[in-house]
Structure 1
Amino acid sequence: MDQETLIKYLGFGRSTLKRKIAANERLSQSESERVLGVTQLIVEVHRMVDESGETEAFDAAAWIGRWLRTPVPALKNRSPGEFLDTAIGQRHVFQIIRQMQSGAYV
């Protein structure tokens, strides 16, 4: 996923983020939690693939990047990325990932 799309999904203001980077400022707690949530999604997908035993040539981060842009029926055909800007939305996306592992229709 390109940087601009990720910034948009996380609900970061582009100019605010650039200013923080230039000033070497830390992200706020809320911003940090959003970034951590995406990281946890990648880790969860990687764990699921590891459990399946089919890990060769699988890039969890790349898969998540594509999947976050794909409309999902369980989200009323909205993309999962649209839900990354809040903790509640991220938990909902995480739940969908887990349902996929169990074979539940999403």
Structure 2
Amino acid sequence: MSEKLHHELNLVFDHNLNRINEWLDTPIPRLNGECPRSWLEADFKQEELFQVLQEMKSGDFT
């Protein structure tokens, strides 16, 4: 996992490892119904996860 994504996860979920893991293991419609954890392998997918977290912070769920 990139440092950038790791940092953003901690910001969004207030360093709560249980909440981070729950989110990583929950299917997300924006990710074609896949769990974020399955997107951690590829850099371009990690960038998409970062964007999802940014949208969560701003309240943009379009």
Q: Shorter-chain-normalised TM-score: which range?
A: 0.7 to 0.9
The reply to whether residue 67 of structure 1 matches residue 31 of structure 2 is no
Higher RCO (C-alpha 8 Å, min separation 6): 2
Kept after mapping to 1: 8 A contact 2:28/2:36: yes
* 1:68–1:48 CA distance, 2 compared to 1 (3 A): closer
Structure 1: 5+ residue stretches without partners: 1-33, 50-54
Question: Shift of the alpha carbon at 1:47?
Answer: 2.8
Structure 2: 5+ residue stretches without partners: none
C-alpha RMSD over aligned residues? 2.2
The match for 2:32 is: 76
Normalization by structure 2: what TM-score? 0.77
Normalization by structure 1: what TM-score? 0.49
Taking only the aligned residue pairs, the percentage that are identical comes to 27
